[in-house]
Amino acid sequence: MWSNGQTLHNPPLGPSADARIAQYTCMVLSDRCSPMPPGWPTRRRGHAMTAAEQLTRRLVALAAQGRRARCGEPGGHELWTSDNADDRAQAARWCAGCPVLAECGAAADEHDERFGVFGGRDRTVVTSRPKRES
C-alpha cells in the first residue's frame, strides 16, 4: 500500500520475467556475484555506485518481491513522459509514497533529465517560443 492510502496494484510479471529476475537478483544485489548480464551496470571494487546503479538495484529488489514502482505499471506508465502537462502533474502526485522516490530523483539529477516526471517532480523544461511580429 502506498503511504497516501492507495492500494499498490502489481499484476503478475509472468514466469519468464520471474525467472530472469531470480537469475539476476543475486548479481545486482551482491558485489560478489558475477558475471553481470550484458547491458547491466557494473562497477569496479572500491568505486561508489552511481545514482542510476542504486536505482537499478532498488527496482530489481522490488521486482524480486513481485512489486514495481507505479510508473512501471502497465496501462499508466505513459503519464510520466506525456506531452500533456496535466498528465505529468497527475504522475507527480502518484509518486507520493513510492519506494524508490529518492533514488529516482537522484538518478534524474545525475543524468540532468529535462523531460518527464522523475522523483515526484516534473522536470520538463518549458521553453517559450518568440512571438512573431506581423
Cis peptide before 35 (omega within 30 of 0): yes
Q: Give the tens place of pLDDT for each residue, 40-76.
A: 555 556 678 899 999 999 999 999 999 999 999 888 8
Q: What percent of the chain has pLDDT over 90?
A: 51
Would you state the cell numbers that stand for residue 85, as one nine-digit string? 502537462
Q: Half-sphere exposure (CA, 13 Å, Cβ side) for 118?
A: 20
DSSP state of 3: T
pTM over 0.85: no
Residue 22 C-alpha cell reads as 531470480
At 1, the pLDDT band (50, 70, 90 cuts) reads very low
More confident residue, 81 or 30: 81
Question: Grid coordinates standing for 21?
Answer: 529476475
